[in-house]
Amino acid sequence: MPNNNKKNGKGGFPMIGLIVIAVLFFLGMLSGNLLYKTFFSAGEEEVSYNTFLTAVSDDAIRKAEISDTQISYFLRTEEEGKEGLLYYTNRLPDVDLTGVTRTMQKNGVEFSAAPVEDGSSSFLFGWIILPLLFFAGLMLLMRIVANRSGGGGGFGGIGSIGKSKAKVYMEKETGVTFRDVAGQDEAKESLVEIIDFLHNPKKYTAIGAKLPKGALLVGSPGTGKTLLAKAVAGEAHVPFFSISGSDFVEMFVGVGASRVRDLFKEAAKVAPAIIFIDEIDAVGRSRDSKFGGNDEREQTLNQLLAEIDGFDSSNGVVILAATNRPEILDKALLRAGRFDRRIIVDRPNLEGRYQTLLVHTRKIHLAEDVDLKKIAQATAGAVGADLANLVNEAALRAVRLGRRAVSQEDLLVSFETVIAGTEKKGTVLTDIEKRIVSYHEVGHALVAAMKKHSQPVSKITIVPHTSGALGYTMQMPEEEKFLNSKEELLIELQTLLGGRAAEQVVFGIQTTGAANDIQRATELARKMVTQYGMSDKIGLMALATAQNEYLEGKTYMDCAQTTADDADNEVRALLNTCYDGAKQVLLDNRSLLDEIALYLLEKETITGDDLMAFVNADTNRLPAGEETED
């Protein structure tokens, strides 16, 4: 078969060889026989002027070159076809070489004067010709690579820089349908209309309706936005173009815009199709920056806006995008006619977590004692990715222990591992440290047990874990709650401060073990004062604004400095009041505190049922008419 590489542009490597030869040729021409000396001379040797005169008189010189400062020559004794060793000596000043040149002429020596270098040729070659040759060779090489990789000609096609990096998934390759997405029923209902339109576009066009061109999936990380987009393509049985927003932005201005054009062009060829842009905030960030912007990113965004306006949604091309930072997106991107439909992909509720666990355990061998509803109840606030990780960790634990099925204990231990890390079996606490940790954890648990409307305690342990905790108290809610009253939040504050209160009541000391408790309590108290309007002094005034709602970002104070000082005083007073309340609960139940702490010190880990057995027994011992504190 004839070789057609030269015809399709893939046989360009010989041209690079020609360029290299040309560079060496120019280098040799401009540097005084450099090529000749390099390839045919065996080396150089400096000799004395007397040695040169002796060689002249003995007729030993075959070829010589005389310059103003140096005399170079070859001897006749070298073998035929090879110059051999080059001898040179410095020319003596004010010495007449007429006699020497006559002798060499008489002996038939080939000699000449060295060319005079004015420096202009070296400058021309070093600063103009050589860079141009190098750049030409580089461009040729990049063109060859572009042709071999299927890129087009021109700068935009070098190495496929301007080509879209979108991955095309057909229905059989995604393998994802709504059956694989659980806990997002509302989001799925919003996307069903898009699927129906892709299947039956005439039903909508007959009445004059137009489907929104773009839908924006918004939610916290791990909630399943990308999975939902793939499920839409799987349900609709259409090609699925998936690309990240960061793939559009490159160092070359104009490359991102070229990729946007290429992406929409490819999607139009196989319409109906779905274009999915993940993390669109990487390219769709607002352009209203007083500090200036990124020209490449802004050009890419402008091209994206133009492409969205330029295509007709009736052709069956639907754009889906995902982000967890909708507040920073450009307003032009969110206006009607572009991404005008926002679909919230929220954290799943109790039933959603249960359905998600069913999906992730579909291929897992479960033991008969597994109760996924209890696991769903314990994992309040977890997203789909968290639950998938929990199930996988439980399966790995079952394999490590040599079992063929995942048990309920595996799932609970995996959940605790996510919260506190694995147990640090090599950490050995002193006796006094173990006593302090025991009283600290029982302080949390006892305050929670003695208060109404608190979350029940499910486990207490004083075994150190890799998260840095020397022990922890786990509370498991009995039901899903979306609202909390001020009284419930105050009880939560007292529970958080119960560990420090127990240290003070029993030992009269303060330890570093309460650092995380104090941090969480301060954060909760500050929200009560600055966001929830639960301070009598501050009143119904929002002093703080949350940033990055779906990323659980920090809040910033939006008030006068004096008001911020008042808020700090309110937070401090609130914490002190709850701390005093926790201390009072422990003082009123000191004997019960000692009894449970000693039992925990012996067992190292006890359950919530063990705790309540002590509490109920103590309640039954109370004289008639006395009750525990509410």
Amino acid occupying residue 625: G
pLDDT for 201 = 77
The tokens of 578 are what?
């709850």
Percentage of the chain beyond pLDDT 70 is 74
Is residue 360 within 8 Å of residue 394, measured between CB atoms?
A: no
Q: Which residue has the higher pLDDT, 4 or 244?
A: 244
pLDDT for 2 = 43
Alpha-carbon distance of 259 to 254, in angstroms, equals: 9
The answer on pLDDT for 36 being more than 50 is no
Of 140, 231, 148, 139, the C-alpha closest to 183 is: 231
Q: Is 363 helix (H, G, I), strand (E, B) or coil?
A: coil
Q: How far from chain centre, in Å, is Cα 163?
A: 23
Q: Tokens 């408790």 map to which residue?
A: 517
pLDDT for 595 = 94
> Mean of the pLDDT values across residues 607-615?
90
pLDDT for 366 = 93
Alpha-carbon distance of 353 to 372, in angstroms, equals: 9
pLDDT for 5 = 41
The tokens of 154 are what?
């021109």
- Please state whether beta strands 41-46 and 84-90 pair in parallel, antiparallel, or not at all (unpaired): parallel
Burial 227-250 (b: 16+ CB within 10 A, else e): bbbbbbbbbbebbbbbbbbebbbb
Of 441, 492, 503, 570, the active-site residue reads 441
pLDDT, tens digit (0-9, with 9 covering 90-100), for 351-365: 899 999 999 999 999
pLDDT for 628 = 44
- Please state whether beta strands 41-46 and 273-278 pair in parallel, antiparallel, or not at all (unpaired): unpaired
- DSSP calls for 62-104: EEEEE-SSEEEEEETTSPTT--EEEEEEEPPTT---HHHHHHH
Q: Tokens 């969480």 map to which residue?
A: 520
Which helix (H) or strand (E) segment is 443 a member of?
Answer: helix 431-450
> Mean of the pLDDT values across residues 393-408?
92
> Mean of the pLDDT values across residues 107-119?
66
Of 92, 83, 108, the C-alpha closest to 52 is: 92
> Mean of the pLDDT values across residues 175-184?
83
> What residues form DSSP beta bridges with 111?
64
Q: Is 546 helix (H, G, I), strand (E, B) or coil?
A: strand
pLDDT, tens digit (0-9, with 9 covering 90-100), for 228-246: 888 888 888 888 888 888 7
Alpha-carbon distance of 268 to 279, in angstroms, equals: 22
The answer on pLDDT for 212 being more than 90 is no
How sure is the predictor about 142, in pLDDT bands with cuts at 50, 70 and 90? low
* Mean pLDDT taken over the chain: 78
Residues contacting 497, CB < 8 A, separation 6+: 514, 517, 518, 521, 575, 578, 579, 582
The tokens of 628 are what?
């525990």
Distance between first and last Cα of the chain: 93
Is residue 614 within 8 Å of residue 596, measured between CB atoms?
A: yes
The answer on pLDDT for 115 being more than 70 is no
Looking at 150-294, list the stretches that DSSP marks H as alpha helix, in order from N- to C-terminal side.
Answer: 171-174, 185-199, 201-205, 225-236, 255-269, 281-284
How sure is the predictor about 89, in pLDDT bands with cuts at 50, 70 and 90? confident
Alpha-carbon distance of 367 to 369, in angstroms, equals: 6
Alpha-carbon distance of 517 to 500, in angstroms, equals: 8
Q: How far is CA 61 from CA 96, 103, 598, in A?
A: 19, 11, 108
DSSP letter at 555 equals E
Catalytic site includes residue 441: yes
Is residue 578 within 8 Å of residue 489, measured between CB atoms?
A: no
Cβ-based neighbour number of residue 509 at 10 Å: 8
Of 411, 384, 16, 30, the C-alpha closest to 187 is: 384
Q: Which residue has the higher pLDDT, 129 or 567?
A: 567
The answer on pLDDT for 159 being more than 60 is no
Domains, the chain, in order of start with CATH, read 33-114 (3.30.720.210), 167-344 (3.40.50.300), 350-419 (1.10.8.60), 431-620 (1.20.58.760)
pLDDT for 545 = 80
Alpha-carbon distance of 583 to 92, in angstroms, equals: 105
pLDDT for 41 = 47
> Mean of the pLDDT values across residues 151-155?
40
The answer on pLDDT for 542 being more than 50 is yes
The answer on pLDDT for 46 being more than 90 is no
pLDDT, tens digit (0-9, with 9 covering 90-100), for 370-379: 999 988 888 8
The answer on pLDDT for 582 being more than 90 is yes
Amino acid occupying residue 588: D
Q: How far is CA 1 from CA 5, 10, 14, in A?
A: 12, 16, 20
How sure is the predictor about 260, in pLDDT bands with cuts at 50, 70 and 90? confident
Alpha-carbon distance of 447 to 417, in angstroms, equals: 25
Of 325, 129, 132, 334, the C-alpha closest to 220 is: 325
pLDDT for 38 = 44
> Mean of the pLDDT values across residues 483-492?
92
Cβ-based neighbour number of residue 299 at 10 Å: 19
Instruction: Give the highest mean pLDDT range of 44-53, 86-95, 375-384.
Output: 375-384
Q: Tokens 């006796």 map to which residue?
A: 431
Q: What angle do CA 616, 622, 494 make, to 5 degrees?
A: 60
Looking at 241-349, list the stretches that DSSP marks H as alpha helix, in order from N- to C-terminal side.
Answer: 255-269, 281-284, 295-310, 331-334
Cβ-based neighbour number of residue 171 at 10 Å: 16
The answer on pLDDT for 151 being more than 70 is no
Instruction: Give the highest mean pLDDT range of 250-254, 271-275, 298-302, 347-351.
Output: 347-351
